[in-house]
Amino acid sequence: MKGNRIAITGVGETPFLRKGAEPLMQMMVRASLAAIADAGLKPSDIDGYIGNRMTPGSDDLGPAIGMKDRAFSAVCDVAGGTASAGQALILAQLAIEAGLATHVLVPYGIQSTKPGGVYGFHAKEPLKAALEMPVGFFGQPTYFASMANRYAHDHGMSEEELASVAITYRKWAVITPSAQRREPMGLEEYRQTQMISTPLRVADCCLTTDAACAYVVSAVERAKDMPHPVVQLAGVGIGTNNFPHGVLFTQNPCTYEYPGEASAKKAYAMAGVDPKDLDLAQVYDGFSISALVQTEMLGLCERGEGAKFYHAGHAAPGGRMPVNTSGGHMSGGYVPGINLLIEGVRQLRGQEGERQVPDARICGVAGLGGNSHSTAILTRN
Amino acid sequence: MGIPNYPIHLEDPQLQGFYDGLAAGELRLTADPDTGEWVWYPPEVVPGKPDTTLEWRAVSPEGSAYTFTTVTRSLLPGDHREEVPFTVVLFESDDAPGCRVPGVLVDADGVEPRCGMRLRFRPVPVGDHVIAGFQPA
């Protein structure tokens, strides 16, 4: 697969809400229509659909948005940010280059307030139910907290350094009108948020959000005649490990070793660029610990230096490598992976007002989900 | 410090072997009888060997903590506010490095939990069941 063949030509989303009134389907239709309109297209122009195993498929959503010919449809097999910020792009390029589709829609929605809660799927995993829940090892914040303590043991990490991840993203959210949490947060305000599992506080966790996002993918040649500056996919890579969900948080030899280096290596090679060429990055911030480790894996700093990188202010507004410029998942909104990819597209279009990164031409997007990871390199043509 | 109290759900019956071990005062892990290698946690199907049934074998109660976290807000389904805080450790027996057993840190008043701390296995009764506990060695 070669880079610079497809472009993200339309993006759209619904408001990021702590608790929304609309069902998932309605939000996904709204986001899809917004993305299609942003691309200067009509719903009937969309002939490709890439869904997700967690959300409605094209059988239902296609008619609801007014698609006529669903010539190509596929479902991402992986979870979370890997799907919407990586695997969907690969599938879209395959479909477009094979001539199976002209404009491919990628929608993704989440209803964090659904019955059963955000951790309900963990309780259904037999190994967790039998071995972990009876001793209280349960829920993402607890899993990632145990990684953070091991990371601190291996590399050293002070409370202030860990806090600087959340504080950095909040600084971006303060200047992002659509962000879910915009009140300023310094170390004192960070310390006032509830501790969940040491060392992770509420402020170290992604938000719970009800919202949907969508984007449209088209061939680069076609994108040149569409409304926005061409933002193309220069490189993309997927990394995986062989630790299924039931053992991922305990038995991986290093529990915070996500397959991010492998995905970044593939994406950079395909794009023909280095980490130092990036103007900004979007990093999947389910938790502060996983964000800072992926920041290292993306090559923005050395391994073991992620927390210090944030603490030094490099990723903050005005820093040398802006990261999560709309507040990320921890302060902006949590629609796994896809709202970070969309922020990357908007930054490269160059019209983000106060938070615009000057002369942004190359953006790295890291997506984590389960035991897979994606890196996408977006460039402005 | 508190102790979590949540029922044990054994959807996969082979996991009963772990609790049979606790009842006998032993920490037992699963191994491949053909190779003698640990296979932990026990998967529903041993990778590449669908006919293999794993064996439960006792391991040394002495070991160390790979990592830990002190839970101050339990995310278990239901109301568990009375049970926090408690500290969960991922324990590695000296006999099975890399095979991690989650358990509760007990008898550790005044002890700061840390990665690498030496621990000793101890079954802990909670209500009508027994869970894995580990105390500073």
DSSP-assigned letters across all residues of A195-240: EEETTEEGGGBPPP-EEEEEEEEEEHHHHTTSSS--EEEEEEEEEE
Q: What is the mean pLDDT of residues A142-169?
A: 98
| φ/ψ (deg, to 5) at A140 | -50, -45
What pLDDT was estimated at residue A117? 66
CA distances to A195, B106, B136 from B110, in Å: 20, 11, 11
Q: pLDDT by residue (tens digit) across A213-229?
A: 999 999 999 999 999 99
Per-residue pLDDT band at A138 (split at 50, 70, 90): very high
Q: Which residues contact A115 (CB under 8 A, 6 or more apart)?
A: none
Question: For residue A134, is it within any domain?
Answer: no
Domain count, chain A: 1
- Give the confidence band of A116 by pLDDT, cuts at 50, 70, 90: low
Tokens representing A379? 């460039």
Dist. CA A363–CA A381, nearest whole Å: 12
Q: Is residue A21 part of a domain?
A: yes
Tell me the C-alpha to C-alpha distance, in Å, between residue A21 and each of A114, A153, A338: 11, 44, 21
Whole-number percent of chain A with pLDDT over 70: 99
CB A67 within 8 A of CB A44: yes
- Rounded to the nearest angstrom, the gap between the alpha carbon of residue A318 and the centroid of all alpha carbons in its chain is 22
Which amino acid, one-letter code, is at B128? D
What is the tens place of the pLDDT at every residue in A348-367?
999 999 999 999 999 999 99
Mean confidence (pLDDT) of chain A: 96
Structural domain includes residue A220: yes
A214 - beta bridge partners? A12, A107
Is the pLDDT higher at A117 or at A336? A336
Q: How far is CA A37 from CA A31, A229, A337, A340, B78, in A?
A: 10, 15, 22, 20, 44
B62/chain A closest Cα distance in angstroms: 19
pLDDT level of residue A163 (50, 70, 90 thresholds): very high
Q: Assess whether pLDDT exceeds 80 at residue B122.
A: yes
How far is B86 from B84, CA to CA, in rounded Å? 5
Read off the pLDDT of each residue in B41-68 and give the average, rounded to a whole number: 96
pLDDT at residue A29 in the model: 98
Q: Number of A to B CB contacts under 8 A, please give it.
A: 122
Q: What is the pLDDT of residue A115?
A: 65
pLDDT value at position A23? 93
**In angstroms, rounded to a whole number, what is the distance separating the alpha carbons of residues A294 and A291?**
5
Tokens of B82: 């009375």
In a domain, A92, yes or no: yes
- Give the confidence band of A119 by pLDDT, cuts at 50, 70, 90: confident
- pLDDT at position A172 is 98
| Confidence check: pLDDT of B15 > 90 | yes
Residues in chain B: 137
Contact between A76 and A83 under an 8 Å Cβ cutoff? The reply is yes
Q: What is the average per-residue pLDDT within B126-132?
A: 95
Domain-embedded: residue A260: yes
Strand order in the sheet with A280-283: A72-76, A48-52, A103-111, A210-219, A6-13, A231-240, A372-380, A362-369, A280-283
Residue A198 lies in a domain: no
Element spanning A292, H or E: helix A288-297
Give, for B86, the enclosing helix (H) or strand (E): strand B86-93
Tell which of B69, B88, B93 to mutate to test the A interface (max A CBs under 10 Å).
B69
Which percentage of chain A shows pLDDT scores above 90?
Answer: 93
Average pLDDT over residues A224-237: 98
* B interface residues, A as partner, C-beta within 8 Å: 4, 6-12, 15, 18, 40-41, 43-44, 66-77, 80, 83, 86, 88, 90, 98-104, 114-116, 126, 129, 131-132
Domain span including residue A105: 6-114+207-380
Minimal-distance CA residue of chain A relative to B7: A134
Picking from A226, A271, A214, the residue whose alpha carbon sits closest to that of residue A9 is: A226
Supply the CATH number for residue A22's domain: 3.40.47.10
Q: Is residue A182 part of a domain?
A: no
Provide the pLDDT for residue A369: 94
Contacts of B99 in chain A (CB under 8 A): 251
Sort strands A231-240 and A280-283 into parallel, antiparallel or unpaired.
unpaired
B37 burial via Cβ count (<10 Å: 0-12, 13-18, 19+): exposed
Q: At A151, list the tokens.
A: 């990371």
Question: In this structure, which amino acid lies at residue B65?
Answer: A
Asked if residue A179 is part of any domain, the answer here is: no
DSSP reduced 3-state for B82? helix
Alpha-carbon distance A301 to A321, whole Å? 10
CB atoms within 10 A of CB A120: 11
Contact A52, A84 (CB under 8 A): yes
CB contact under 8 A, B99 and A251: yes
- Position A190 pLDDT exceeds 90: yes
CB–CB of B86 and A133 under 8 A? Answer: no
How close are the terminal C-alpha atoms of chain B, in Å? 18
pLDDT, average across residues B4-28: 94
**Res. A78: pLDDT tops 90:** no
**Residues of chain A with C-beta less than 8 angstroms from the C-beta of B97:** none
Are the beta carbons of A81 and A367 closer than 8 angstroms? yes
Interface test with B, best of A121, A197, A242, A255 (most B CBs within 10 A): A197
- Rounded Cα distance between B106 and B87, Å, is 8
Pairwise CA distance, residues A360 & A305, whole Å: 25
Q: Which of A236, A280, A337, A350 is nearest to A4 (CA)?
A: A236
Identify the weakest region by mean pLDDT among A111-125, A154-168, A325-339, B23-37. Answer: A111-125
Q: Is the pLDDT of residue A118 over 90?
A: no
pLDDT beyond 90 at B82: yes
